[in-house]
Amino acid sequence: MMRKATSCIFYLVIFVGMLVLVLPTLGIGQSGWQSFQNHGLALSYPSEWKRMSPKSTDKIQGMLNQQLQGIGNTQVSVVGLDVLLNLPAFRVMIAKEQFKIVPTPEYLIQERAKFLTEAQMRGGVDSYGAMKPLTINGHSAIEFHDVDKGARGYSSSVRLLCGKDTWHITFTGSTKATYQQYRLQIERIMQSMSLVDHCDAGL
């Protein structure tokens, strides 16, 4: 059941990516960097980027959970969603997921590799890079490198872990070249990430 749960999240994220560019956003007019804090995660991002409106993200979150329920998946749910945009070329999706059973880093890496391989065989993914555990500001995390989805963009992601909760932050450029232009911003965002509350990994 855990494999089914994780694979559904992967394919639903691809679906959501197609919706991102057509939904309303909240404009930001200041220069520099600003703070983001929501659903237990804090980070910094460029102030000129736009943040998708709560009405839009709530709609996407509801659609994701409806699809999970529709296929009988009760092992994981999306309990929070935010999207940061620098239109038209780049987006950051922040999904807080809650599992019924605590997933280990090794499990999530193995399952992600299986699903990406399956997606590659079906033509949904052209190629993907390394996956490795790491620590971000004292928090256990996993980094997924260089997922090339062809016409659907080029991305990497990081997943912060805390017991049954994970925060999956996906950085997507419209093309590989566009993605590469945001490398410095991605690194700075990752360096700024922290969990707001104390993590009790046993829960």
pLDDT tens across 117-127, in order?
A: 888 888 888 89
pTM over 0.95: no
Q: Which position has the higher pLDDT, 38 or 3?
A: 38
- Tell me whether residue 136 is in a domain: yes
Query: In which domain, by residue range, is 157 found?
Result: 2-21+34-194
- Tell me whether residue 80 is in a domain: yes
Q: What is the pLDDT of residue 149?
A: 85
Q: What is the pLDDT of residue 171?
A: 96
Q: What is the pLDDT of residue 24?
A: 47
- Tell me whether residue 28 is in a domain: no
Convert the pLDDT of each residue in 177-188 to its tens digit.
Answer: 999 999 999 999
- Tell me whether residue 203 is in a domain: no
User: Whole-angstrom Cα distance, residue 12 to residue 68?
Assistant: 9
- Tell me whether residue 27 is in a domain: no
Q: Which of 15, 7, 37, 156 is nearest to 90 (CA)?
A: 156
- Tell me whether residue 116 is in a domain: yes
Q: What is the pLDDT of residue 79?
A: 93
Q: Return the amino acid letter for 162.
A: C
- Tell me whether residue 177 is in a domain: yes
User: Whole-angstrom Cα distance, residue 129 to residue 149?
Assistant: 12
Domain count, the chain: 1
Convert the pLDDT of each residue in 12-54 to its tens digit.
Answer: 555 555 554 444 444 444 459 999 999 999 999 999 999 999 9
**CA torsion 104→109→112→113, rounded to 10°?**
-150
User: Whole-angstrom Cα distance, residue 84 to residue 107?
Assistant: 28
Lowest mean pLDDT among 95-99, 110-114, 179-183, 187-191: 110-114
Side-chain-side CA neighbours of 182 within 13 Å: the count stands at 26
User: Whole-angstrom Cα distance, residue 51 to residue 115?
Assistant: 29
pLDDT of residue 2 exceeding 60, the answer is no
Check which CATH number belongs to the domain holding 116 and give it. Answer: 3.40.1000.10
Quote the percentage of the chain above a pLDDT of 70.
80
- Tell me whether residue 199 is in a domain: no
